Structure 1
Amino acid sequence: MTIAVETFFLTPGAPGTLQAQVQQMIAEGILSGRFHVGEKLPSSRRLATHLGVSRITVTLAYTELVANDYLSARGRSGYYVSENAPVPPVYTPHPRAADTVDWSRALVQRFTGGDTPSKPDDWRAFRYPFIYGQADPTLFDHANWRQCALRALGQKDFAAMTDDYVDRDDPLLVEYIARHTLPRRGISARPQEILITLGAQNALWLTSRMLLNRRRQAVIEDPCYPAQRDLLTHSGCRLVPVRVDADGLPPEAIPEGTDLIFTTPSHQCPTTATMPLHRRQALLARARGLDALVVEDDYEFEMAFLAAPSPALKSLDTDGRVIYVGSFSKSLFPGLRLGYMVGSEAFIREARALRAAMLRHPPGHIQRTAAYFLSLGHYDSQIRRMGRALHERRRVLEAAIAAEGLTIAGRGVYGGSSLWMQAPEGVDSARLAARLQADSVFIEPGAPFFAGPERPSRFYRLGYSSIPTARIGEGIARIAAATRASRRETAAQ
């Protein structure tokens, strides 16, 4: 029996190459039990015509499925579902008993209910996505990343891909960070003072786990990265939010008894304020006087396209009290989940042991792929390309904002990829964001970035890393129109 060609269709916008989509479509048909052993597939010519793809695409897909034993080829007869094809399991599920566990009593600690901002899964479908921190496929170097990934899959790197490093990291990646990345921030570090992490979030978790408990006090910026506030809340420490100003975290506002200070001096999150050199020095002096440690999250230093960035806080540290956190989330892509932390050898040794107890190490293949991408010069090329694009987008964005009479509350001195905005009095940015989503515009409400019950509701963040330059003007016009409408509605109440 020949399977009807009409049962095959490609999903518009599906990921992967056309060949991969055809393979997946047939494999899923076999695994689901819709296609049975011995049934004949449509000819490659007929299926290609039906799907609107080239015949070679279907032929290659069939050939790959034969190699994987999903299909068998019979001379001039065609392709059939193989006798050795995976057979879907046949079972009758048992009726599920009622859950009798009292989870309200069984859970000794809860991690839900935090403030981490969410984004719609379909944000890429928005025509005006002023979303922050997401990768733009038009700017990412897919071809060279793929080549580096394939090279990392080679026989030469088999051990790097497959071995259990236990608590170690890829030496090529660590060497690149030590010799190229950190010197750009004025930081000198030995390999034993560097730890690869699953992004900055993992580094911040490790730090809080090792340095904080219920008897210690930590200072965070207000507003700040919500996920950071959430994880510090889970540590049980005394958490003191300190309101930032136009220059970032004010050292004189840090209270006595502080043990750990979290700061984002290069691009304050989310206001984008850049801490000037004299304040960085004052912050280190304040930390020294308190005998406190400082965690510097330098998450976006590569996005300095307006001028060279200020030296990292860590580069000014003369007594080892600064723990430096970096990430490739903004400069490469957030799904990579790759970052690093730099600190005194004694601290990194303990962080390495804690990381090994939780997840051993980030995947070896990912580390080696990133090491090749960085060391072969592709990373620097991408940063330059992104810098040019972001600079142009920033110029167009600021011009559109000025033309529409919107208010910028914070802009990075050296660049970055977002602006911190302030809506007029009485306009709630959360309701404004909901109104704009219906108009295919995405903005990020600012209230979750603030601590405490009385959170300012007028602020919002505009990211410009993923929106095409040509759409910025119309997107800002829609934001301005929605803002005016919200203001009128508030005035009428």
Structure 2
Amino acid sequence: MEVHVSLDGRRDLSGQIYRQLRAAILDGRVRAGEPLPPTRELARRLAISRNTVAAAYDRLAAEGFLSGRVGAGTFVLDAGAPSRAAPDASPLRPREVWESISAWPGRLPDVRWDFRAGLPDVRLFPYEPWRRIMSGVLRPSGLGDPERAGDPAGLPELRAAIARHAGVSRSVRAGAADVVVTSGIQQALDLIGRVLLEPGAVVAVEDPGYPPARLLFRSLGMRVAGVPVDAEGLRVDALPDDARAVYVTPSHQFPLGMPMSLPRRRALLDWARTRDVVIVEDDYDTEYRYGGRPIEPLQSLDGDGRVLYVGSFSKIMRPVLRLGFVVAPPALHRALRLARYVSSWHADLPVQAALARFIDEGLLARHLRRSRREYQARHELVAALLAERFGAWLSPVPSAAGLHLSATLPDGADDAAVVRRAAAEGVGLFALSEFAVSGPPVRGLVFGYGAVRAEEIGAGLERLRAVLSGAAGA
């Protein structure tokens, strides 16, 4: 245990050591059972007599703070004191915006059936191949040249692998130079906001839409404007004239689930071009598509280089592997790299190297094929059960992709109350009203099926059916 002791002048040296060690023990900085440095070692570090240190130790032992063990050393006894805390009073105050921001989603009590959206099934992840690759990159030669590894944009081999993967699975037009590796989608949005938008700029977002995105833009000093969606996606005719950026999820609108139609996508690109607006395309789970024609991303339709495409590996791998990316036109490469450098320099290098090999060895594609089959079966099961058993309460929103389905409740229904009652019965859900931005909230429920085994879906939905009918707990 490294204990910090400093001496001020040459008077009462033993007393100074005693008071500093006593304070460290009482504050909890040195915990019960931990050893103190030998008197000889501490005396050498402080350039004083060993007897001076020994006198301080003896005083602490006499007061019950220390215990000496012959041949073992000197150890701290339990002083029964709380850990040290920061001062209660401070003149510092956060910016006002932080008074109105809270983490999303809120903590959910333990539930048996967790239908929250956005949670993949971690049991499907191929742990053994990943462990093998991680062991290889953690060897001394695994990361190669340290100078090369320090690029804020990410390891070159991962950027190249992401460009190939996004091109094959998502039809994104990109080379390795266009990719900046991030710690998830949130950091990608943060980089974009700081590079392109001034404080006070208006950012248009879907309403309902993804809460963390709008919270991030607000924290950067942007003004967030909710724009309604309909069966074809974001309503371009409702976009505010003063918007400087538009954030959209066109392949699988979050949380409702419909894709943006091709005419609507073209209209959005035309609108952005005439007003010199940036479009941020969040393609968070497009790899999981179960039917219908593939959705061409805005990025591949864009002929002007004004679409920034962001993605993540959290849904297709594991949420704890915080790796995402942004694909940007060449004019923004330098600024995005610098923004990445000044914020956190680079993402976890061993994980970057491992993911590059995971993609290049075809393991990611194999995992996607396997997990897609599993999630499609769950998707079809949830859709069938909602249609068969919930017609009196819910109207499913057509969707053929992703890890969740949404369904609306009748006008006047209290979806938040339904969610609370369901949680009390062991069923975890999101209410659609949680995702409202500024317009009248859509009332309904969001059914994520990534974290619920197929064989448990029926029982979980039956419990929810009892909640909706008022029979649960009767």
TM range (shorter): 0.7 to 0.9
Q: Distance in 2 between matches of 1:128 and 1:86?
A: 53
Paired AA for residue 398 in structure 1: A
Quick one: distance in 2 between partners of 1:301 and 1:237? 28
1:117 & 1:287 partners in 2: Cα distance? 30
* Structure 2: 5+ residue stretches without partners: 1-30, 35-69
How many angstroms apart in 1 are the aligned matches of 2:134 and 2:381?
A: 35
2:287 is paired with a residue whose SS is helix
* Aligned partner (choices 146, 149, 155) of residue 140 of structure 2: 155
Q: Secondary structure at the match of 1:302?
A: coil
- Helix, strand or coil: the match of 1:303? coil
Judged with a 3 Å threshold, the aligned counterparts in structure 2 of structure 1 residues 374 and 240 are, in CA distance, closer, same or farther, namely same
Q: Deviations over 1:49-102 (max 9, x none)?
A: xxxxxxxxxxxxxxxxxxxxxxxxxxxxxxxxxx99999755866986862214
Tell me the TM-score normalised to structure 2 length.
0.78
1:329 aligns with 2:314: yes
Structure 1 residues 86 and 112: alpha-carbon distance in aligned structure 2, compared to 1, 3 A threshold: farther
Distance in 1 of aligned mates of 2:415 and 2:372: 29
| Counterpart residue number, 1:274 | 259
Q: Deviations along 1:256-296, whole A, 9 cap, x unmatched?
A: 22211111100111111101222211111111111111111
Displacement of 1:158: 4.1
- 1:118 maps to 105
2:427 to 405, 417, 441: 441
Aligned to 1:292: 277
Match of 1:283 in 2: 268
The answer to whether the Cα contact below 8 Å between 2:202 and 2:242 also exists between their aligned partners in 1 is yes
Deviation of 1:298 (Å): 0.7
Partner of 1:79: none
Structure 1 residues not aligned, in runs of 5+: 1-30, 35-82
Aligned counterpart for 2:174 among listed residues 180, 183, 189? 189
| Residue type of the alignment partner of 2:407 | M
Alignment counterpart, residue 409 of structure 2, candidates 387, 412, 423: 423
What is the alpha-carbon distance in structure 2 between the residues aligned to residue 229 and residue 467 of structure 1?
Answer: 28
Residues 221 and 96 of structure 1, relative CA distance in 2, 3 Å threshold? closer
Distance 1:138-1:260 versus aligned 2 partners, 3 A rule: same
Task: Check 1:320–1:157 CA distance in 2 against 1; reply closer, same or farther (3 A cut).
Answer: same
Q: What does residue 479 of structure 1 align with?
A: 464
Name the aligned partner's letter for residue 436 of structure 2: F
2:219 and 2:85 mapped to 1: Cα distance?
Answer: 34
Aligned to 1:100: 89
Check the 8 A contact 1:342/1:348 in 2, yes or no. no
Evaluate the alpha carbon distance shift between residue 177 and residue 275 of structure 1 in structure 2; reply closer, same or farther with a 3 A threshold.
same
Assess, with a 3 A threshold, how the Cα gap between structure 1 residues 85 and 297 changes in structure 2: closer, same or farther. Answer: farther
The corresponding residue for 2:363 is 378
- 1:394–1:464 contact (8 Å) kept in structure 2: yes
Deviation track 1:406-428 (CA, whole Å, cap 9, x = no partner) reads 4234232x321111122234432
**Letter of the 1:140 counterpart:** F
What corresponds to 1:41 in structure 2?
none
**1:231 equivalenced with 2:216 (yes/no):** yes
RMSD: 3.0
Q: Aligned equivalents of 1:389 and 1:97: distance in 2? A: 49
Alpha-carbon distance change, 116 to 424 in structure 1, aligned in 2, over 3 angstroms: farther
Contact 1:161 1:365 in 2 (8 A): no
Going from structure 1 to structure 2, the CA distance change for 1:121 and 1:254 (only over 3 Å counts) comes to closer
- CA deviations 1:345-397 (Å, max 9, x no partner) are 22132111011111010010010111111111111111111111111111111
The number of residue pairs the alignment matches comes to 406
**Structure 1 position 256 matched with structure 2 position 256:** no
Please report how far the alpha carbon of residue 484 of structure 1 lies from its aligned counterpart in structure 2 after TM superposition: 2.2
Using the alignment, how far apart are the partners of 1:391 and 1:362 within structure 2?
32
| 1:439 to 1:215, Cα distance in 2 relative to 1, 3 A | closer
Distance 1:121 1:236 in 2: 30
Alpha-carbon shift at residue 170 of structure 1 (Å): 1.0
Could you tell me which amino acid in structure 1 is paired with residue 462 of structure 2? A
Structure 1 CA distance for aligned equivalents of residues 218 and 101 of structure 2: 9
